[in-house]
Structure 1
Amino acid sequence: MARTVLITGCNRGLGLEFAYQYARDGWHVHACARDLVHAEALQALEARFPEQINLHTLDVNKDGQIKALDRVLDNISIDLLINNAGYYGPKGVAFGTLERELWRQVLETNTLSPLMLTQALYPRIAASELKTIAFLSSKVGSITDNTAGGGYYYRSSKTALNQVVRSLSIDLSGAGVKVVALHPGWAQTDMGGSNALITPEESVTALRSLLNGLTQEQSGDFINYDGSTLPW
């Protein structure tokens, strides 16, 4: 029986690569994007794998769209939820030029929204076989690793996300649900830039291998794409 994955932020980058690899390997893929009309690459992927991929419009910051997605899914269980959608915010923002509303937007997308989506879809995850929830975090959210400063908006949103993952891993352990924070590496995406060290294919291939072998003991961990555990 084919397994089911739901992925946010599939219009490009890692989300698109996740959708491709899981569809290629026979999974049922529910691929979400904020604007499907302009997600040409994702539409092309659906045309290539029409039996495997279902597209959904989802702005993770809108509770109404989260509820609508839950209704559309009907009685489907979700083996793996990948909270991939993220927002870096304006780059080059230094202390002295910070703005409350811009910070709020980054926190909304990177921390609040993945938790709210997980809360809405949790019964589907708990009813599945794999019972796995992955949050795409970032090494820059590690307090121990921060030796460069700056990056206030994005760093803090990922640090907070890591705390969410830790709490969820404890709260959901009784149901056998595994929850993990993943650093995808410095990948060649719109956010990572062309000078990044690895391709989206390399990143996603490694992350999928990690998720495939994830144990209950690793639930709540902050894990690098190469399998090493990262410091909080």
Structure 2
Amino acid sequence: MTVLITGANRGVGAALLARYRKSGTAAMGTSRKPVGDLLALDVTDPASHTALARRLNGLPISLLICNAGVYPDKGQTLEKGYPAALWAATFATNVTGVFLTIQALLPNLRAGHGKVAILSSQMASQSLAPGGSYIYRASKAAALNLGRNLAADLAPEGIAVGIYHPGWVQTDMGGPGATISPKQSVEGLCERFAALGPETTGCFEEWDGTPIPF
């Protein structure tokens, strides 16, 4: 089994990479500015995706975890916040970046009879809409929609796609007031990813397996 995790330089991505490696799984991580043995990938740059695919050279991938993401609109006000440039930059990472990653590595997934996990958020749910964080919510809703449609298109090939909320995690993004540790999140997520298959493709779940309303 070979796992590739985007955005593995910190937070949940780094915790997932460490968890898989600790279990003896062959796992690789990417970062926009890689350190150590992380692979270079700027998810907003098509040329970077091409370079990564060339470097992997057809390596079969069993599980692709699209984790790279940003949440830049915390504290923005409805009256004067949410500038257009922030919308564009967020969608480039949280939505287009996910699509480009899957598109570039589709031959690797086919070779590995693999599956795809997209880390979205419960904030993507239109049923759970308390307001605020408009850019982040919209981008994660788009990532959810993307995942659901990819699940439909890739089902005939046996490539399952799941969309997951990692929880409110004690990371730089989640902050110190978050409710669960990275270890709790990744243990649950790894169970979800292992359970992902043709019967559950297109699922939208919490880290602990609780279904999230669309």
Q: TM-score, normalised by structure 2?
A: 0.96
Size of the alignment, in residue pairs? 213
Q: What is the aligned-residue identity percentage?
A: 39
Q: Which residue of 2 aligns with 1:87?
A: 70
Q: Which residue of 2 aligns with 1:192?
A: 174
C-alpha distance in 2 between matches for 1:217 and 1:95: 41
Q: Which residue of 2 aligns with 1:113?
A: 97
Matched, 1:143 2:126: yes
For 2:124, the aligned partner's letter is G
- RMSD (Å), alpha carbons: 1.0
Q: Which residue of 2 aligns with 1:164?
A: 146
C-alpha distance in 1 between matches for 2:193 and 2:73: 31
For 1:24, the aligned partner's letter is K
Distance apart, 1:226 and its partner CA: 1.1
C-alpha distance in 2 between matches for 1:114 and 1:9: 11
C-alpha distance in 1 between matches for 2:61 and 2:133: 34
Pick from 102, 107, 112: which aligns with 1:123? 107
C-alpha distance in 2 between matches for 1:127 and 1:172: 14
Q: Which residue of 2 aligns with 1:36?
A: 34
2:166/2:189 contact within 8 Å kept: yes
C-alpha distance in 2 between matches for 1:67 and 1:217: 32
Q: Which residue of 2 aligns with 1:175?
A: 157
Runs of 4+ in 1 over 3 A off after TM superposition: none
Matched, 1:224 2:206: yes
Secondary structure at 1:172 match in 2: helix
Secondary structure at 1:144 match in 2: coil
C-alpha distance in 2 between matches for 1:216 and 1:229: 17
For 1:86, the aligned partner's letter is G
1:103/1:153 contact within 8 Å kept: yes
2:9/2:38 contact within 8 Å kept: no
Gaps of 5+ in 2: none
For 1:154, the aligned partner's letter is Y
Secondary structure at 1:31 match in 2: strand
Q: Which residue of 2 aligns with 1:72?
A: 55
Pick from 184, 189, 203: which aligns with 2:185? 203
Q: Which residue of 1 aligns with 2:79?
A: 96
Q: TM-score, normalised by structure 1?
A: 0.89
Distance apart, 1:126 and its partner CA: 1.5
